[in-house]
Amino acid sequence: MRGLRVSSIVVGLALMLGACHPGPSSVDGRRIAEANQHPGDWVSYGRTYDEQRFSPLTQIDDGNVGRLGLAWFADLDTNRGQEATPLEIGGVIYTTTAWSKVEAYDATTGRQIWSYDPKVPGDWGVKACCDVVNRGLAMWKGKLYVGALDGRLIALDAKTGRPVWITRTFGQDTSYASTGAPRVVKGRVIIGTGGAEYNQRGFVSAYDAETGRLDWRFYTVPGDPSKPDRQPSDQPLRDIAAKTWAPGTWKVGGGGTVWDTIVYDPKLDLLYFGTDNGDPWNQRYRGVRGDNLFLTSIIAVRPETGKYVWHYQLNPGDEWDYSAVQPIILADLKIGGRTRQVLMQAPKNGFFYVLDRKTGELLSAKNYVTVNWAKGIDLKTGRPIETPEARYSDTGKPWVGVPGPLGGHSWNPMAYSPKTGLVYLPANEAGFPYQEDPAFKHEPLGENLGLDLSGGGKDPDYAAQKAQLASLKGYLLAWDPVAQKAVWRADHPGPANGGVVVTAGNVVFEGSYDGKFAAWRADTGKPLWSFDAQAPIMAAPMTYQVGAVQYVAVMTCGGGAFGLSAGLPGLKSGHPHQLCRLLAFDLGGQAKLPPLPAASRPPLNPPPATATAEVVHQGAELYGRYCGICHGGSAVSAGVTPDLRYTPLLASDGFFDVVLGGALRSQGMVSFSRVLTHDQAAAVRAYLIQRANDTKAAQAKGEDLSAG
């Protein structure tokens, strides 16, 4: 009964609003700030400037969500990772897909209206640590903005999908990659980049939304002191940051890229963004011990000038990839009897931070997942109380850190409901063996971490890897940010699960890496509904209403950092299919996905393993440094890119045509001849042959150690 009554009120409201359903040209700062006046639309990446991802829609609620069914689906023309949150306005849903493509669909039928392909060169894929993904669009006064992987910032006419202007945010000779959703604030398109593992220097930029002209740029780490940037970051970098670095480290970039969160508070007129790790990860190779500002920091600036206001650093002298890039949510919380204007972040390092967003003062921090690198955060100094073993570059000993670089939580959006007062976040527990590479030197291709990534090294029992595997967990966590404690959690088979949306109907939606799309009661965590999406889900769902009907939409397909690199022997949390789609659901929806194709994998047929243990180990180290980031740790692919144990190229010299000759360059597999000799490539092949033979032997014994 309750559902019926609420539905009829919503229908009436929608009919009233339907008469003046404003389109893309109506989207400006006021429209985004007052998004609740048009609750049916989703006009910005996190729906509103505060990025709470809380929808006031109530047609779908905790009483009727069990009747949710597929309304329509659209197949995408890429099988790489999908991370975007679509926008919806005026009955049209807009989204980005892998390779920075943009699609517009009728939001009620899924009929394609237009499609735009920026034709990103395939070989840019090797510069993207974490897949050729894109997280979404910004809209402003009739235009859509997409940051293409290769650094082009493109303004499209929302009606036609045709480019209005294109500008470059970084040069083609760099190793930056752009995957984040732009935001538009006061007529400026704000966007950062990725690339902190590739000798790059982090920055965030503001471009005029009408013309694409660069307005200001804020660098996050010091540059060449003899060449001032003449940017708003110059002064704070000179006064605060420079003394926390060894002289000359700017020559290797420094890191601190701004690849995800950018949030705006119209009341305080402050723009917030978070920065990534240092480059290389291992701090020893960044010169001296020091805080290395502004790495792993949240920074507040003025949106019109980029002028620095405050910063808070999460991990001084980080060497674990514990970035501060993860989504920030703004909210007003009652803390200690006072209403505080806060920002909240659940960054990779596993602590949930609540900061006063006017001043940057740390109000509270508590670990939301298992954490072994620190005993806590000192509220007086704001600094972590580190456990000494975590400093692997001091001890010289391998150390399995929890969280690892996947993070207790990464880019996958979290949500906050002002109704329940809870934050809903996709949490991970995934350890990582940090081990210094004593022979490290910077190379022009691949990641520069300063770590031994041979996956167990010379240990025949793969002890570090087994510890890593044992640590793998993933769950949807409902977190009380005032009390700093878990209220409920829903366990998934493993980590890397999807982003979240929560609604006024007391429902929270999340997809998972095993291919389920599901709903829970927001207040209690009671499971309410689930759907077999036929592919992993990493992206965040969103919800919108057109006419009388509320929809929930989500994109499918695995990939990203975990999907590409975390192929681990024995990992079972994935999904065998990679069917990339945009799915939309409504109450009583009757559409059906086509039957799944049969999963098939050719039998393993490697040549015999004849190389010496020394050569195999050398191959393991080189594989770990150059190949594992895309083809999976321990040569076990999680299914997004080819599993090299199975490639027929192991038995032929075609292997060298690809690895050194660049024969598959257009598909993203560039030549590695700049960093590998023929002998070294042969060692990589010997390692792959060994891994393939080990797997074949395990399969014969009935212990299939291959993932997915």
List residues with catalytic annotation.
321
Give me the least distance between CB of 562 and Ca ion, in Å please.
13
Contacts of 12 (CB under 8 A, 6+ apart): none
By beta-carbon proximity to Ca ion, the closer residue of 260 and 586 is 260
Nearer to Ca ion, 286 or 516 (CB): 286
Residue 121 CB, nearest approach to Ca ion (Å): 23
Q: What is the DSSP string of 631-679?
A: H-GGG---SSS--GGG-GGGGSTHHHHHHTT-TTGGGT----TTT--HH
For 211, the 3-state DSSP assignment is coil
- How near is the Cβ of 383 to Ca ion at its closest, in Å? 21
CB of 447 to Ca ion, least distance (A): 9
| CB contact at 8 A, 523 and 397 | no
Tokens of 437: 């590479």
How crowded is the C-beta side of 317, counted as CA atoms within 13 Å? 20
Task: Name which of 44 and 261 has its Cβ closer to Ca ion.
Answer: 261
Q: What is the DSSP letter of 608?
A: P
Q: Are 544 and 509 in contact (CB under 8 A)?
A: no
Provide the minimum distance between the beta carbon of 561 and Ca ion in the complex, in angstroms, as a whole number.
Answer: 8
Residues that bind Ca ion (CB under 5 A): 196, 276-277, 321
**183, containing H or E segment:** strand 183-185
Q: Which residues contact 15 (CB under 8 A, 6 or more apart)?
A: 547, 548
Q: Region of 327 please: left (phi>0), alpha (psi -120 to 50) or beta.
A: beta
Q: Which residues contact 420 (CB under 8 A, 6 or more apart)?
A: 478, 502, 506, 522, 523
Pair 330, 263: CB distance under 8 Å: yes
Alpha-carbon gap, residue 175 to 167, rounded angstroms: 17
Specify the residue, 277 or 545, whose C-beta has the smaller distance to Ca ion.
277
Q: Rounded to whole angstroms, how far apart are CA atoms 265 and 520?
A: 30
Sequence-ordered strand ranges (E) for 307-361: 308-313, 328-335, 338-345, 351-356
Q: C-beta of 510: minimal distance to Ca ion in Å?
A: 24
CB of 133 to Ca ion, least distance (A): 14
Closer Cβ to Ca ion, 196 or 331, answer by number: 196
Pick the closer one to Ca ion by CB: 280 or 498. 280
Q: Tokens 């006063």 correspond to what residue?
A: 356
Give whichever of 198 and 513 is closer to Ca ion, judged by the CB atom.
198
Minimum CB distance to Ca ion smaller for 449 or for 638: 449
Rounded to 10 degrees, the C-alpha dihedral 218/222/226/228 comes to 10
Smallest distance, Ca ion to C-beta of residue 62, A: 38
Burial class (CB in 10 A: 0-12, 13-18, 19+), 111: exposed
Neighbours of 595 (CB within 10 A): 7
Residue 520 and residue 526: Cα distance in Å, rounded?
5
What is d(CA 169, CA 182) in angstroms, rounded to the nearest whole number? 12
Nearer to Ca ion, 197 or 452 (CB): 197
